[in-house]
Amino acid sequence: MSHLHIPDGVLPPLLWAGGLLLALILLVLSGRGEGTASELPRGGPAQSIATRGALGGVVLAAMALELPLGPIEYHLSLVGPVGVLIGPAAAFQLVFVVSAILALAGHGGFTVVGLNALVLGAGAAVARPLYRRLIPRLKPAPALALSTAVSQGLSGVLWMLVMVIALRSLSHGGADPRVVGMPRMAVLTALALPLWILGIAVESAVAFGLARFLARVRPDLLPAPVHPGPV
Amino acid sequence: MINTLARIDQLASSGTTAWHRASAISKLLLATTIITLAIASRSIALLGSLYAFAWLLVITSRLPARLVVAAASYPLLFSALFVLGSWDQTWQTPVRLLLRPLTASLTAVWLVGTTPYPDLFAPISRVLPRSVGDGLFLTYRGLFELMASAERLWRALRLRGGTQGSPRRRLNLAGESLGSLVLFGFERSQRQYAAMLLRGHSGRICGCRHWAEWTREDAWVALAGAGVAAASLLLWRKA
C-alpha cells in the first residue's frame, strides 16, 4: 500500500509538482554522492548502476507477484530490504526508476512519480542505518525484519499523509464543506490502518526469510555493523 | 502488469504505422502537451476533446483493443475513490476527475505503444542525473528476464507446497525465494558489468539510436499538435 497508484490529474498541482521538484533535487544530490554515499558491495559506479538495475528489476518482479493472504492478494514493495542492501542514496534512485517504469505501465500517473519516490525512498533511507545498529545485537534475519517493519511503517505513514492532504485539498474545492472532509478522512483511516498493519507484518516476515537465505548463502551482501564488536 | 508491459514493448518495436515511424522526441512533446493540458484544464469541453483526441491517436496506432482498454481503464478504480472522496453534489467535478486520468493514461499507452524503450528513455535520461538515466535503461533491460525467473520460482514454490501452512511459514518461504532472486540479480549485474567493460563502456549508457532524428512522419505529429493547440485555444474558457 505504500505505492501511491494515484492517477494523473486528481492531486493538487502544488502537491505533485512540489513532490517532483523535491525528488529531482534529492536525485541530483544522491547522484553527486555516487561512489561515496552509495554503499554497494563492490566495484565502481558502473558496477553500482548495474547492481541497482538488477535490484530494480527484482523489486518490479516482486511487486508483480501476488501473495495470497485469505481474501486479499498482497503485492510486495521490498522497500526495507532494498534500503538495507544498497543504502539510502542508491535506494532512492532505484525507487525513482521503479516508479517511473510503473507509470509507463499505467500503474500510477506520471505526475506522482516524485511523490512515490519520496514515500518509498523515505522508508528505504531509514532501513540501512537501523539495520547496522541492530546487527551487533540481533541475527541478520530479525534485524532485517525489524528494519523492514520500521521502513514500511514510515512509508505507510507518509502514504496516508499524502492521501489526507489530497482529499482535504479536493474537499476545499467542493460546494458544500459539510458533505466532504472529516467523515471521509475517518473512512480512509478505517480502510488504510488495517492495510498498513498488514503491510508491515507481511513485508517483515518476507524480509526475515530473505535475510535468513542471504545470511546462509552470501553473508557478504548484508551490511556490516556500525561498530563491529570484538572478534 | 508485467505482461501488459511486455506486450506493449513488443508492439512498440514491431508496429508499422506512421506513429511508430515518427521520432521519439516529437511524440514525447505531443504526449507531454496533452497530459499537461488535461491536468491543468478545468474546461469539460476541452477535457472531452482531449480524451476523444487520445482515443484517435490510440486507434490510428493499431494497438490491440483489449490491451488499450486494459491499460487505459486502470486509473478508473483509483479515480473513482477520489470521486467518492470529493463528491460535491455537482456532475462537473466527477467528470473532470475521471477525464483527466483517462486522457493521461490513454496518451501514455499511445506513447509507449509506438516508441521502443531505448528511444523513449534516451531523451528522459538526458534530463535526469547520469546514474538515474543509466539505471532506467538497465532496470528495464533486465526486467523481463528477472520476471521470468520470479515466475519460475513462484511455480516451483507452489508445486513443492510452499504456499501451504501457516501465513508465517508461507511468507518466510516467499522471502527465501526472493532471496534467491536477489542473489540471481546481483550475479547477473556482475556479468552485465563485465560485459559493459568488454564492450568499452564509456561511463554513460547511450540510448541514442534515433530518438531525435526527424522523419517525414513527424509531420503527422506536428499536425496533431496543431489540432491540440487549436482545441485548447478555442475551448480553454468554455465550461
Taking an 8 Å cut-off on Cβ atoms, the answer to whether A5 and B78 are in contact is yes
Instruction: Tell me which of B139, B145, B149, B205 to substitute to probe the interface with A (most A C-beta atoms closer than 10 Å).
Output: B139
- Mean pLDDT calculated for residue range B197-208: 68
Q: What percent of chain B has pLDDT over 70?
A: 95
Q: Rounded to a whole number, what is the distance in Å from the CA of A141 to chain B's nearest CA?
A: 10
Q: Which residue has the higher pLDDT, B211 or A185?
A: B211
Q: Which of B75, B138, B178 sits opposite A210 (nearest CB)?
A: B178
**Mean pLDDT of all residues in B221-235:** 92
Helical axes A45-64 vs B167-198, angle rounded to 10°: 140
Averaged pLDDT score across all residues of chain A:
81
A177 interfacial to chain B (CB closer than 8 Å): no
Q: Amino acid identity, residue B106?
A: L
Q: Sign of torsion, CA B193 B194 B195 B201?
A: positive
Residues with Cβ within 8 Å of A100's Cβ and at least 6 positions away in sequence, in order, are: A113, B124, B136
Whether the predicted pLDDT of B142 surpasses 50: yes
Taking CB atoms and an 8 Å limit, are A62 and B134 in contact across chains? no
Q: Say what the pLDDT of residue B89 is.
A: 77
In whole angstroms, give the CA distance from residue A95 to residue B86.
Answer: 30
Inter-chain contact A49–B134, Cβ cutoff 8 Å? yes
Which residue does chain B place closest to A163, by CA atoms?
B82
Touching B: A residues 126-165, CB under 8 Å? none
Cα-based distances in Å from A23 to A17, A28, A29, B12, B16: 10, 9, 10, 29, 37
Residue A177: pLDDT band with limits 50, 70, 90 = very low
Question: In the prediction, which pLDDT does B154 show?
Answer: 83
**B75 exposed, middle or buried (CB, 10 Å; 0-12, 13-18, 19+)?**
buried
Is A166 at the interface with chain B, CB within 8 A? yes
Grid coordinates representing A189 are 483511516
- Grid cell 469541453 in the structure block, residue: B45
Decide if pLDDT at A180 tops 60. no
- pLDDT tops 60 at residue A206: yes
Alpha carbon A75 to chain centroid distance? Answer: 13
Q: Which residue in B87, B132, B183 is closest to A218 by CB distance?
A: B183
Q: Do B174 and A67 touch (CB under 8 A)?
A: yes
Q: pLDDT by residue (tens digit) across A31-72?
A: 776 644 444 445 566 677 788 888 888 898 888 777 776 666
Query: Do the chains contact at B176 and A213, CB–CB below 8 Å?
Result: yes
Q: How far apart are CA B44 and CA A114, in angstroms?
A: 27
> Which of A104, A152, A197, A216 has the highest number of chain B CBs within 10 A, making it the mutation to test binding with B?
A104
B146, B149, B155, B190, best to mutate vs chain A, most A CBs in 10 Å: B146
Q: Do A47 and B190 touch (CB under 8 A)?
A: yes
pLDDT tens digits along A140-159: 999 999 999 999 999 999 98
Smallest Cβ–Cβ distance between B1 and the set A34, A64, A202 belongs to A64
Of A72-86, A183-197, B52-66, B119-133, which one has max mean pLDDT? B52-66
| Nearest-by-CA chain A residue for B140 | A57
Q: Integer distance in angstroms from the first to the last C-alpha of chain A?
A: 42
pLDDT band for B208, please (50, 70, 90 cuts). low
User: Shortest CB distance from B176 goes to which of A31, A34, A210?
Assistant: A210
Q: What is the mean pLDDT of residues B32-60?
A: 93
Residue of B5, B38, B174 lying closest to A9 (CB–CB): B38
Q: Considering only residues 158 to 197 of chain B, which have any Cβ-Cβ distance to chain A shorter than 8 Å?
A: 163, 167-168, 170-183, 185-186, 188-190, 192-193, 196-197
Residue A3 is predicted with a pLDDT of 64
Grouping H, G, I as helix, E, B as strand and the rest as coil, residue B239 is: coil
Q: What does the pLDDT read at residue B221?
A: 93
- What pTM was estimated for this model as a whole? 0.86
Model confidence at B162: pLDDT above 80: no
